[in-house]
Chain A
Amino acid sequence: MIEIRDGKKVLITPVSAEDLKDIHIGDIIYLDGSLTTCRDVAHRRVVEEGREIPVDVRNNAILHAGPIIRPLENDKFEMVSVGPTTSMRMEKFEYEFVQTTGVRVIVGKGGMKENTANACKDFGCIHCVIPAGNAVVAAVCVEEIERAEWRDLGMPETLWNCRVKEFGPLIVSIDAEGRNYFEEKKVEYNKRKDEQVDLISKQVGFIK
């Protein structure tokens, strides 16, 4: 579901393919609902070992991150600090991961490539980045950690199933049409870089 709240576009889980139709690369959105941290080994377990993911992420969101958690009483936990980790490490697994789990929103750091872009297009999913280095902003958007699965993986790799409120800002880097913000940007950056190298080189001929 999508709601406009104080001018903010908020995506609320469960998210349908229809909800993603009007979301495009470069858009700024926020997330309410179910967000589960999920990174390297969890992807490997689902894709390579064919294990069933113990948290249902279908129509929900995952976050590439390894948080700092404080254990509370009665098997409850507090999110102290959470920031995204480089999404590219999960690129290799992401097509099959999206296909198998039915996840709709992937949040991480930096761009991803064709595997993920194809998954987004084929199964109706988006990849977003949350500005990195903002561990406290992200942590205070977590209202509660509802479940913790695959705890044998240790704190960074455990699936921490969080209920979040206006988690963001999330900048859409791959949309459900498969357009890829970072890949398009890189073409621009490299073009301008080549121009600048030429320009500067004309002024630094110090070896005569």
Chain B
Amino acid sequence: MTKEVQVQKMTETMAKFVGYTGKVLPDDVIAKLEELRAKEDSPMATVIYDTMFRNQKLARELDRPSCQDTGVLQFWVKCGTGFPLINELEGLLKEAVVKATFETPLRHNSVETFDEYNTGKNVGKGTPTVWWDIVPNWDGCEIYTYMAGGGCTLPGNATVLMPGEGYEGVTKFVLDRMTSYGLNACPPLLVGVGVANAVETAALLSKKALMRPIGSHNDNERAAKMEKLLEDGINAIGLGPQGMGGNYSVMGVHIENTARHPSAIGVAVNVGCWSHRRGHIVFDKDLNWTVTTHSGFEM
């Protein structure tokens, strides 16, 4: 394969995959929503869950995006230094988003800041977002895709606490956000929390946490314990589906962390909505791909 053909092949695969993630939710999200649906007993929560599942079925049958807000595209790239398209990757991801926008179709969600106009192509300065993790001595490439909708982007918040405020302060920071903004972000939510040395590291981790499979835990025992405490605590608030009340509020709480400065605790929170459109695809050096999140995806 020439380089040109390779680029074309990967662009097509990514465009198709991105479009697919706008129509079909990941397997783990569906499984979790099914579990939560079974645990609700009020007529209102039941009707809302029934609507959600009917919507996903119709989206698949009619081949349309399941939520009208297909978000801003974000990619989390873990790329091996030996991956043959490492130089072309960022450009081809942008091209894939434009292609997916017209083929799927996706809503035009890129407004240039300051000039304040919609580009009409769903891409702009810095969008799609591409975050890089470079993996030495590897020739593959792993990509997480995410559609960041407006409603679920809104609750995002970050701050730096004083050590005196401790993890108690982290708890309050996260829970306060759930009742002020979380209830309008289409619960049941997936909550990402970053605990780190500063505001930017915490913020980035809080979004990265949303890429983890639902049901996974932080490796650190105390962090994992806090994930569970926050999950139970937010569930006990009883936001229910759509924030209208129910037995459960979240699909999970994921914490990601780094070491910190002795005098500061950076903390951030981000949420994914029930329509948590994240995908995960891995390419080898010959561009053979494996999708781990969506068992139904094919080219």
Contacts and interface: CB of A to CB of B under 8 A. Distances in A.
Contacts of A203: 225, 229
Contacts of A140: 58, 62
A189 to B, nearest CB: 5
Interface in A137-179: 137, 139-140, 169, 171
Which bucket holds chain B's interface residue count? Answer: 35 or more
A189 B229 CA distance: 17
B64 A181 contact: no
A72 interface: no
Given A135-B68, A200-B229, A171 B244 contact: yes
Contacts of A188: 238
Contacts of A190: 179
Main secondary structure on B side of the interface with A: helix
A183 to B, nearest CB: 12
8 contacts: A81-B65, A86-B151, A136-B59, A171-B244, A190-B179, A192-B236, A193-B179, A200-B168
B172 interface: yes
Contacts of A110: 183-184, 243
Nearest to A207: B166
A81 B107 CA distance: 10
Interface stretch (A14-22, A38-46, A55-63, A125-133): A125-133
Nearest to A204: B167
B184 A197 contact: no
B93 to A, nearest CB: 24
Contact of A193 (B47, B170, B175, B226): B175
Interface residues of A, number: 44
A44 to B, nearest CB: 17
Given A28-B47, A136-B62, A201-B167, 6 more contacts: A66-B68, A131-B242, A189-B238, A190-B179, A196-B237, A207-B163
A181 B69 CA distance: 25
Contacts of A131: 48, 51-52, 241-242
Nearest to A203: B229
Contacts of A81: 64-65, 68
B68 A82 contact: yes
A70 B247 CA distance: 39
Contacts of B275: 133
B233 A196 contact: yes
Contacts of B69: 83
B274 A133 contact: yes
Contacts of A169: 47-48, 51
B43 A200 contact: no
A109 interface: yes
Contact of A207 (B47, B55, B167): B167
Interface in B29-64: 43-44, 47-48, 51-52, 54-55, 58-59, 62, 64
A129 B48 CA distance: 11
Given A136-B58, A199-B233, A186 B51 contact: no
A207 B195 CA distance: 14
A48 to B, nearest CB: 21
Given A81-B65, A82-B68, A83-B69, A192 B52 contact: no
A14 B244 CA distance: 28
B55 A197 contact: no
B59 to A, nearest CB: 5
